[in-house]
Chains A and B, each alone.
Chain A
């Protein structure tokens, strides 16, 4: 079985953004037509066009944004291929095209075999229907036959661990139960080619483990799988081959370990203090986060931190003018190399309410005793004003942490023993009263 299951050739997808073709109400459409007639040839650029995208505006006032460009690759039958890349790199667009949810603009893809795609768990679940009813509905939506669902019904129920609530409407389920049921249905789909988005980022840790195990089984059964994820550990475990996307372009493909290390190098390259070149996930326009500086306990600029030290992270920002508001919030989220969230520092957690911000300035967040074992970490920066997200940039910077004496004991905690360090103390041994010791 060395034949090719998926062939993708020069696949591309462009979206037009800005004023051009999109008119969300008839009034807009009519008004735009009149306007075009009136000032034919004059340029109108819609103020909706998001920042961060190069404005290659045409005279019509719309711009073309390539979410995916000239991507080609092949997946052999029985192979498990990972697709990695930062947010906005085009991973989801690629999956949507291969799932036939949206059409490509250029190129073509050929898939041999029955295709199943899972871009979400629980698609089409209806809150008013019972668990049992939703298994059938969701199964049909995922492309299973009724007879197939009948046959696997007991397995699905057993996997989901919700037997007792099978006849309860799912709106009464806890979110954990809901996700378990949804994944259970999806896991029992058996197409020859499976396209999976990050559906594993759900449920509690134990269930995630079970899901990963199930994914491993699927991969082991000789089915072809295309797996998109931020979870590098999962990609490393499941995929033999990997495709790295950056800004819609396939920049690397090959052996998983090599591609992952290239992806990590992408992060390393951004370790400069300026955030200028990183496309933000959200930029509402009023305020931009521009720099991130790392300071040690004495206020010196450093390029890496030491475990257990007092450290400060200073976020520089530029606003359209001084801001007076009822509340502004800054936050820093720490992630490990596998994309797992470790902890979050948010100004409002600590009771700090910013009501005035200068047009150009900075805020500093101090962590008195850095609880991270040695390793490489990433931070997401985020700012909201009056509850509205103003700026949000992911993996803004890679931060290296060196080993340090967190507990002041003269010993260095080993990084592989847990993800975080917390202050704690141990007592002297205490003798139990005689009578209890013999009980």
Chain B
């Protein structure tokens, strides 16, 4: 159902009757933050549903959240740490890799889920009104749970490897936010494009895989020759991954490529993708119900 704008905000009947005007819109429309706020409970329920349903009818349940990054860590340790002997600073390779996989797994899950989110919600979009932004937003939010669980596993690893906790860890939320903004920005573009072009479904898994190797997740950025490092900063996920290592493992594990100006470039780029994504999403959402 489609509730009218004021549905959420008028707690009882005494509020003045809201008026909805329905007419064709053209050109750019602003992001209706008001409407998003009114529908916050729906956002909450969609996130809750995603989480609740994700591991239903699996024998291992939430254990999958832990097993996936651990298995990747083992695989990459074997490949890069043992066979290729990739440098990992002063840190043992497994914890070095896990610190990179932690934000990367979140990012790749959030991006994949958000890009297919609108198409997967076709049944809602064609039957009920609500701000469509809630759909990709709930996808990037519900992926945070996995990040939290695998973060706990990381805590255990830190104890095992006797890595001291420093005050740098306080910067983690900002880094998670940067990963979220990047995932949401690309997710908005891709989910809206996916409504019209189902090619997106085939493109995303493939692109995410390539992207991972372009990001210093399982290798140190010091492997990249000096003059190409500027290219790394064009990838906001470089800042996130390097930042995670810096915050969790100390500078010993982080490469020298991490610097304030580079992080600033990452932030600016991530914001640019988010804003353009919002514009594109808002411009196309009015036809979602007709063509999805």
Contact = CB atoms under 8 A, between A and B. Distances in A.
A191 to B, nearest CB: 7
B291 A141 contact: no
B37 interface: no
A50 interface: no
B59 interface: no
Contacts of A27: 199
Given A124-B124, A140-B42, A109 B1 contact: no
Interface in A240-296: none
B12 to A, nearest CB: 10
A124 to B, nearest CB: 5
Contacts of A126: 49, 53
Contact of A102 (B21, B23, B57, B289): B289
Interface in B118-133: 123-130
A327 interface: no
A133 B53 CA distance: 11
Interface residues of A, number: 53
Interface stretch (A17-25, A313-321, A356-364, A403-411): A17-25
A143 interface: yes
Interface string B15-37: 00111111111000000000000
Q: Which residue of A103, A137, A193 has the most chain B CB atoms within 10 A of its CB atom? A: A103
B6 interface: yes
A124 B18 contact: no
Contacts, number: 150
A318 to B, nearest CB: 33
B197 interface: yes
Interface string A1-31: 0000000000000010000001111110100
Contact of B24 (A105, A113, A124, A145): A105
Interface in A121-160: 123-124, 126, 128-129, 133, 136-137, 140-143, 145-146
B17 A192 contact: yes
A166 interface: no
A386 interface: no
Contacts of B162: none
B2 A103 contact: no
B227 interface: no
Contacts of B41: 140, 145-146
B129 A99 contact: yes
Contacts of B49: 126, 129, 133, 137
A98 B128 contact: no
Nearest to B199: A26
Contacts of A186: 1
Contacts of B44: 140
Interface in A87-115: 96-115
Contacts of A98: 22
B127 A111 contact: no
Contact of B42 (A99, A106, A141, A193): A141
Given A102-B290, A109-B22, A140-B45, A114 B10 contact: yes
B259 interface: no
Contacts of A114: 3-4, 6-7, 10, 17-18
Contact of A189 (B1, B23, B196): B1
A104 B22 CA distance: 8
B290 A97 contact: no
A110 B123 contact: no
A331 interface: no
A104 B130 CA distance: 17
Given A114-B18, A129-B52, A140-B42, 6 more contacts: A26-B197, A101-B126, A137-B49, A141-B1, A142-B1, A192-B17
Interface of A: 15, 22-27, 29, 96-120, 123-124, 126, 128-129, 133, 136-137, 140-143, 145-146, 169, 186, 189, 191-193
Interface of B: 1-4, 6-8, 10-11, 17-25, 41-42, 44-45, 48-49, 52-53, 56-57, 123-130, 196-199, 286-287, 289-291
